Each structure stands twice: as C-alpha cells, then as structure tokens.
Amino acid sequence: MKIFKYLLFLLLIIVIAGSIYIATKDGEYHIEETRIVPAPAEVVFNEVNEYHNWRNWEPWSLEAEDMVIEYEEKTRGKDAGYSWKSEKMGDGRIKTLDAKPFSSIEQQISFDTPFGTSTSKIYWEFNAMEMEDSTKVTWGMKGTQSFMEKLAFSFQSETLSGMMRPKFRKGLENLENSVIKKMEEFSINVDGVIQHGGGYYMYTTTATKISQVNQRVQKMIADVRTYMEENNIEISGKPFTLYNERDENAGTAIFSAGIFTPSQVVTPNNSQILNGNLPNQKVLRTSLKGDYKNLQDAWNTAYDYMQEHGLELNEEEDVFEVYITGPESNPNPAEWVTQIHIPIK
C-alpha cells in the first residue's frame, strides 16, 4: 500500500513539475514570411484588402473542401470580416482592425479549439520596390499561447511556427499567381463605325518600333501635358497616339503623342511641341480593356472586322489610339481602356 502511495506522490510531483515547466515556457510567437510580387503595391493591397478575394489564394480553404464561409456586410477595409466552419480545419473568424492604403493592413484572427478560442494578430506590409512595378509583401502573425495551447503543442512533433510558415509561404505564392492572372485579363470589343469629331491638339513626334511605342508614348504625353500647363493651354480630351506612318510588316512607326485642346495654338518656331488639327471623320472604333501588350491583338481584330464587313480604309487619314484609362489613373493593367480608331471611306 505504501508503494502505491509513493507512486501517486511521485506522479503528483511529475504533474506539478510538468505544469510549472509548461507555465513558465515562453508562449509568445511571431511568424513572418515575405515575397517579392511583380505587381504594383496598390494592386496587391487591393487584392488582400477585399476578403472575397481570399478564397483564390489563402491555403486553408483550398485544402478544406467542406469549408463554409460567411461574409460580413463589409468585406473591404477597416471593420470588414468573415467567418468559416469546417470539420477538417475547424471554425474561426477574421476581422480587419486597420487598413492604410496602400502600405499596411492589421487584422485579428480567432480559431475555435477544444481548449477555447485562440486569438492572434495578423499584419500585412506592402513596400514598393525600386524595380518597376514590384512589391515586397510581408505577411505575419503574432500572439501568446495559453497554458492549454502550450501543453497541446508539447505533445506534437511540430511547433506552431513549423506548422504556419509553409502555409504563409504557399499563401504568398498563391497570392502572386492570383494577382498576375487578374492583371493579365483583357477583352476586345469592336464598337462599330462612329463619327469622330476630331479637333485641335498639341503634340510631339518621333519614330520607333511598334513594339516600343507604348514605352515611349507615356513620357511624350507627359512632356506635352507639362508644356500645356506651363503655357496655360486648355486640355479638352484624353491623350492619344496618332500614327503618321505604321508599317506592320516592318514593325516600325512614325507617331505623334498628343492631347486635345479646344482651339488653334501658335507655337514658337523652335518648339518641340506643336499644334495640329484632326478632321471630323468616320472611323471604325475598337476598344481594348487590358494591358497595352494586347494592343496588337486589338488591331488585328479591327482589321479582320473591316475585311469581314467590307469596310475600306481611308488612306488619306491617320489611324490613332485614344487612352481612356491608363497607368496614370489606375495601376492595374486589366483596367486600362484604349480605343483604336481606323478612318474608313
């Protein structure tokens, strides 16, 4: 009987010692992963800031087919959130505490466990890189484990950090793929034959390969805009590119980058910025919504439409592109709108 009491006493000592060890064990955790995403910071921020997008890239729901998500009324910005239920992954919820466009997001995530609710702070940082249109994305989580959570992990072969880091890395990889896929979306629509009103415009001209036009035209338009602002010349329309010569076979073009103005302007003889007049004319208009790299497809679609519908090119006038929405107003190429105008007889 004494041996049994000694064993119980020894067991009690072990339990007390173990409890003291678990209680004094550091329960604080801080997990962080980073990735360079080839996209503007604003685009990546907007992807993360909208909870409806998370289903496309966060790794947990992609691994749990039974996950049921319920979105709150607000899904973007401060106080936005959603909750989920899953037998495989457990139940939980996440809420945005703060969102600073386009640099950081702070969130709180809670998991329902057999030991109660486990809560952690989630943070995102978006830092624009020197390399063009790239963002350093940081995704982190920090908090303090309860006694029961520390006890549970003491019997597991993997730490919390070891479990979460691969998830964060996979999530960031999925995030990059999702953002790139969305940025590459585009559509082409032949709007039909319209009457373009034309008008006076300020412009500058150069020659280059067709493939390099969009790289050079932005600076040229900026130069024209600066000239107009410095000389108090009114702007009355969207910027455009007028192809004075466009040789598809040779892949070269002489083109003018211009901005419409309501009246004729006389410029000095030595000025690199000149004034021209686009005639009122009938044109076939085709719209591209998407990156400029898809413009050649849009041009091909327009010319195919002309051939199919028996439309004849008016060779006396120049074809032109009008930039309705571009990188100066929206960093996401999928949202850029360019209208192609081909003069017809």
Tens digit of each residue's pLDDT (9 = 90 or more) over 159-179: 666 678 999 999 999 999 999
| Residues 115 and 152: beta-carbon distance below 8 Å | yes
- Tokens describing residue 258: 């211009």
Q: Answer yes or no: do 98 and 196 share one domain.
A: no
Side by side, the strands of the sheet bearing 81-85 are 28-37, 135-144, 116-128, 104-113, 91-100, 81-85, 68-71
Q: Which of 152, 183, 214 is the last residue of a domain?
A: 183
| Residues 246 and 260: beta-carbon distance below 8 Å | no
Q: Answer yes or no: do 154 and 237 share one domain.
A: no
Q: Residue 246's pLDDT is what?
A: 81
Q: Answer yes or no: do 61 and 198 share one domain.
A: no
Q: Answer yes or no: do 148 and 31 share one domain.
A: yes
Question: Which DSSP string corresponds to 126-140?
Answer: EEE-SSTT-EEEEEE
Which stretch of 70-74, 76-80, 108-112 has the lowest confidence by average pLDDT? 108-112
Residue 6 in domain: no
Residue 17 in domain: no
Residue 247 in domain: yes
Q: What is the 3-state secondary structure (H, E, C) of 242-301?
A: EEEEEECCCCEEEEEEEEECCCCCCCCCCCCCEEEEECCEEEEEEEEECCHHHHHHHHHH
Supply the pTM of this predicted model.
Answer: 0.83
Q: Answer yes or no: do 202 and 339 share one domain.
A: yes
What CATH number has the domain bearing residue 288? 3.20.80.10
Q: Answer yes or no: do 192 and 266 share one domain.
A: yes
Q: Above 50 in pLDDT, residue 23?
A: no
Which stretch of 67-71, 160-164, 229-233, 248-252 has the lowest confidence by average pLDDT? 160-164
Residue 238 in domain: yes
Q: Above 80 in pLDDT, residue 267?
A: yes
Average pLDDT over residues 71-85: 96
| Residues 27 and 146: beta-carbon distance below 8 Å | yes
Rounded CA gap, 345 and 283, in Å? 8
Average pLDDT over residues 202-223: 92
Q: Residue 3's pLDDT is what?
A: 58
Residue 4 in domain: no
Q: Residue 20's pLDDT is what?
A: 45
Residue 11 in domain: no
pLDDT in tens, 87-114: 887 899 999 999 999 999 999 999 887 6
| Residues 276 and 201: beta-carbon distance below 8 Å | yes
Rounded CA gap, 339 and 334, in Å? 14
Domain with 288 in it:
187-343
Q: Above 80 in pLDDT, residue 244?
A: yes
Q: Looking at the 3D structure of the chain, how many domains does it have?
A: 2
Residue 92 in domain: yes
Q: Above 50 in pLDDT, residue 279?
A: yes
Q: Answer yes or no: do 227 and 142 share one domain.
A: no
Q: Answer yes or no: do 52 and 141 share one domain.
A: yes
Q: Which of 133, 166, 183 is the last residue of a domain?
A: 183
Q: Answer yes or no: do 96 and 218 share one domain.
A: no
Q: Above 60 in pLDDT, residue 338?
A: yes
Q: Which of 158, 183, 208 is the last residue of a domain?
A: 183
Residue 293 in domain: yes
Q: Residue 149's pLDDT is what?
A: 52
Q: Residue 275's pLDDT is what?
A: 97
Task: Identify which has the larger pLDDT, 86 or 97.
Answer: 97
The DSSP secondary-structure symbol of 292 reads: G
Residue in 133, 135, 183, 215 with CA at minimum distance from that of residue 291: 183
Q: Residue 13's pLDDT is what?
A: 45
Q: Answer yes or no: do 178 and 195 share one domain.
A: no
Q: Answer yes or no: do 240 and 298 share one domain.
A: yes
Q: Find the angle CA(56)-CA(103)-CA(168) to the nearest 5 degrees.
A: 40
Q: Above 50 in pLDDT, residue 187?
A: yes
Q: Answer yes or no: do 177 and 269 share one domain.
A: no
Average pLDDT over residues 262-281: 95
